[in-house]
Amino acid sequence: MGAYIFRRLLLMIPTLVGIMAINFFVIQFAPGGPVERVIAQLSGNDVSATARISGGGSDFGGGGGAESQGMGTGTDSINSKYRGAQGLDPEFIRQLEKQFGFDKPPVERFLSMLWNYARFDFGNSYFRDVSIIDLIGEKMPVSISLGLWMTLISYSISIPLGIRKAVSDGSKFDVWSSGVIIVAYAIPSFLFAILLIVLFAGGSFWDFFPLRGLTSENWEQLSWPARILDYFWHLALPLTAMVLSAFATTTLLTKNSFLDEIRKQYVITARAKGLTERKVLYGHVFRNAMLIVVAGFPGAFISSFFAGSLLIETIFSLDGLGLLGFESVINRDYAVVFATLYIFSLMGLLVNLLSDLTYTWIDPRIDFESREV
């Protein structure tokens, strides 16, 4: 197993490089960029809506090479690369390009970024006076809370429910629970979140739950039991909205996986030997049926941890990583965008490796050492 883990860790290196390279060079052709955002702020224009590069690329991207070649070619050459830059001192534009690192060719910037990221040196945000590591650390508790608790709650509901549905396949319980699951899956989480606010957060009816933040303002003065209650009090509505549709897929996947295993010959043989139904179900069927469920864990975790919480974070005013990434893209803060992309990708690869190791824990007969990676 040690050799397999080592090979997987080595394969993470080209995978990360490939992910970063694709996204880096896609950005080369994206309109707008940090330099344009500063120019737009000076001219009073909305950078997210109006920022364009006359040459067809961003100052972070396709225009990067042109910027390096254009140094010293005159005021018109410098200012014509950015809409709204006419009339600005070209030396000021050069200082902006140097500040954001765009005075270097794209390939050099990319290689420098990889070297820094390999040492977990992510630098500072373009538009916030704080290091990216500190910024991510500030937002991490919200995303960890949403992602971790949502995954644990949805799996703790899905697996027992899926097993119960498989055992009682075709019964009234199976039929009506499937109906509830399908309806819950069809309701968008953000829409259900708004309904929860209207009903329970002072929208039009009751005012039981808070609408902002992960803790109350007096959290530091509370006792530890009160802090725990306050923490889950703030998470109650966001987690309910996220979990509603999250457990549907896993529940049906668990049910179908158990049904496939229950119908196999080894289960019939085990029953013929006089084993109890519980022994057959959890001693023989469980470890085989759970393999496909475990396979979907990394995707579910990463989705709920990052992308899946964006709308929920916005609706409930929770300042997490999903909202940070979205705002960084809108504000053209590419230093934060690529740092979060790198961290998210690395965590996704590590969780995938953890998923493979969980296979061997569930079913020791699986031997990754004998397989070629």
pLDDT digits (tens, 9 = 90+) for 297-343: 666 666 666 655 678 888 888 888 878 888 888 888 888 889 988 98
In the chain, where are the structural domains located?
A: 31-118, 132-370
Bridge partners of residue 124, in order along the sequence: 131
Distance of CA 358 to the CA centre of its chain: 21
Q: Which residue has better confidence, 44 or 61? A: 44
Q: At residue 80, what are phi and psi to the nearest 5 degrees?
A: -70, -15
Using 50, 70 and 90 to split pLDDT, how confident is the model at 363? low
Q: Is 207 helix (H, G, I), strand (E, B) or coil?
A: strand
Alpha carbon distance 17, 289 (integer Å): 35
132-370 CATH pick, 3.40.1280.10, 1.10.3720.10, 1.10.620.20, 3.40.50.720: 1.10.3720.10
What is the per-residue pLDDT for 8?
Answer: 87
- Considering only 10-14, 156-160, 179-183, 187-191, which range has the smallest mean pLDDT? 187-191
CA angle 296, 300, 306 (to 5 degrees): 150
Q: Is the whole model's pTM more than 0.85, yes or no?
A: no
Alpha carbon distance 320, 140 (integer Å): 6
What is the per-residue pLDDT for 82?
Answer: 60
- Considering only 91-105, 114-128, 207-221, which range has the smallest mean pLDDT? 91-105
- 59 has a pLDDT exceeding 90: no
Q: Which residue has better confidence, 345 or 77? A: 345
Residue 195 tokens, joined: 């309904």
Give 324-360 as a DSSP string: HHHHHHHTT-HHHHHHHHHHHHHHHHHHHHHHHHHHH
Greatest mean pLDDT among 4-18, 132-146, 244-258, 349-363: 4-18
Residues 6+ apart with CB under 8 A from 122: 116, 131, 132, 133, 136, 335, 339, 342
- Residue 308 is classified by DSSP as G
212 near 316, Cβ under 8 Å? yes
- Considering only 8-17, 23-32, 107-116, 257-266, which range has the smallest mean pLDDT? 23-32
Give 107-172 as a DSSP string: HHHHHHHHHHHHTT---B-SSSSSBHHHHHHHHHHHHHHHHHHHHHHHHHHHHHHHHHHHHTTTSH
Burial category of 204 from C-beta neighbours within 10 Å (exposed 0-12, middle 13-18, buried 19 and up): exposed
- Residue 307 is classified by DSSP as G
